[in-house]
Amino acid sequence: MRKIGVLTSGGDAPGMNAAVRAVTRAGISKGYEVIGIKRGFNGLINVEGKESRETMDAKIKELGVRDVSNIIHTGGTILYTARCLEFKEQHYISQAKIRCDELGLVGVVVIGGDGSFRGARDLSLEGVPCVGIPGTIDNDIYCTEYTIGYDTAMNTAMQMVDKLRDTAQSHDRCSVVEVMGRRAGWIALNVGLAVGAMAAITTEMPYDINEVADKIMKSKENGKQHFIIIVSEGVGDADGIAKKIEELTGIESRATILGHVQRGGSPTVRDRVNASKLGYNAVELLDEGKGNRVVAMKGGKVVDFDILEALSKKRKQFDKRLYDISRVISM
Ligand code: F6P
């Protein structure tokens, strides 16, 4: 029987399980045996000198229809995930190709961010067709408007900030909240708008702390008594920003770093549906004999690109209009 592999790699994201389920069931429906590869690319290699927790056989698991039951609503990934630094070395890429041949894999679906896509590209070049599915809460992959987990992470952050608002309001404070996004401010921008923050500070747009403080003071004169500032992880120093705001405005300020809570939890409708569509389309591509591709979303539709396009150094254009709207209506 023809076989395809599926793995999740890089930071986990809610909806990865929905994608694994879709890949598994789409694969089975097209007559494939589906092999789950555990802990990203680590599941295909054996790193010398590193004590291996598992035998090579334990690093994979055949996935049947029922093995992926009851996971569409769960966060995390049943296949576990990891960032595999060794996979940058040719030696390990060749080892992974040999392992794929041993397993009889005619293709592999790689669910992850751009680091994972680099691995997928290298394995494709080595002769194992791979199709990438964008899975990262950061939504920082060029060529797709959406990545699996992004919607859930934003909703989680929004709910957390709503809770922080209660206490900020009770104490007439300013709450400075750092949200995830090492290299991208998409979560900060959208959550900032969704919670009515005074400012969303991201690396994409310049900011002046004095302007932020002035805006807070103007709103205070207008009767506003509590304030929320969202800072993206890439900007860093939420604590320093809170201290500076307190110094400039005299308003007691507190910093909160939401951190990994944003990576967990049950995926939203949007993440479940999109993960299912992307998973199905990825298998369709492999079935058509196409590798070295990524599936992506454009205008709400699933499209696909050469993996090199997804890895291009071009940065996704920041939504300046949304940023401007958010600035104007927060007063
Ligand atoms: O998955 C993306 C991301 O959550 C970034 O927003 C964050 O900077 C990073 O992963 C944290 O990664 P780690 O798993 O290494 O803590």
Mean pLDDT across 255-260: 97
Give 182 Cα–ligand 1 centroid separation in angstroms.
Answer: 7
Query: What sign does the CA torsion over 230, 233, 235, 239 have?
Result: positive
pTM: 0.95
What residue's CA is closest to ligand 1, atom 7? 182
Ligand 1 site residues, Cβ closer than 6 angstroms: 11, 136-138, 180-182, 233, 263
CA atoms within 13 A on the CB side of 5: 33
8 Å CB contact between 218 and 270: no
Taking the C-alpha atoms of residue 265 and residue 5, their distance in angstroms, rounded to an integer, is 26
Q: How far is CA 121 from CA 93, 110, 274, 311, in A?
A: 10, 10, 23, 9
Q: What dihedral angle (degrees, nearest 10) is formed by the CA atoms of 115, 116, 121, 123?
A: 130
Check residue 53 and give its pLDDT. 64
Task: Give residue-wise pLDDT tens across range 76-123.
Answer: 999 999 998 889 999 999 999 999 999 999 999 999 998 999 999 999
CA distance 268 to 284: 24
Q: Say if residue 48's pLDDT is above 90.
A: no
Q: Reply yes or no on whether the pLDDT at 242 is more than 80.
A: yes
Over residues 7-22, the mean pLDDT reads: 98
Chain segment 136-146, per-residue pLDDT in tens = 999 999 889 99
Tell me the pLDDT tens digit for each residue of 185-207: 999 999 999 999 999 999 999 99
List, in sequence order, the alpha helices (H) in 104-149: 114-125
First vs last Cα of the chain: how many Å apart? 63
- Residue closest via CA to ligand 1's atom 14 equals 11
Residue 235 CA to ligand 1 centre (angstroms)? 14
* Atom number of ligand 1 nearest to Cα 136: 1
